[in-house]
Amino acid sequence: MNQFKRKRSNHMTERNRQKHVSPTENESNIHTDFLQNMTYGDYLQLDQILSGQKRLSDHHDEMLFIIIHQVSELWMKLILHETKAAIESIKRDDLSTSFKQLARVSKIQNQIIQAWDVLSTLTPSEYMEFRDHLGQASGFQSYQYRLIEFALGYKTPHVLKIYEKDPKLLEVLTEAYHAPGLYDVAIQALAKAGFSIDSEVLNRDYSKAYEGNASVKEAWLAVYKQVDQNWDLYELAEKLVDIEDWLQQWRFRHMKTVERIIGFKTGTGGSSGVQYLKKVLDQRFFPELWDIRTEL
- Binding site feature residues for substrate: 65-69, 127, 131, 268
Between CA 250 and CA 113 the distance in angstroms is 5
- Answer for the pair 250, 175: CB distance below 8 angstroms, yes or no: no
What does each C-alpha distance from 89 to 78, 82, 196 come to in angstroms?
Answer: 16, 10, 22
Between CA 163 and CA 170 the distance in angstroms is 6
> What does the angle CA 210 – CA 215 – CA 217 come to, to the nearest 5 degrees?
70
247 sits in the region (left: phi over 0; alpha: psi -120 to 50; else beta) called alpha
Annotated binding site: 65-69, 127, 131, 254, 268
Between CA 204 and CA 200 the distance in angstroms is 5
Eight-state DSSP code of residue 273: T
- Answer for the pair 221, 296: CB distance below 8 angstroms, yes or no: yes
Annotated binding site for heme: 254
Between CA 90 and CA 183 the distance in angstroms is 10
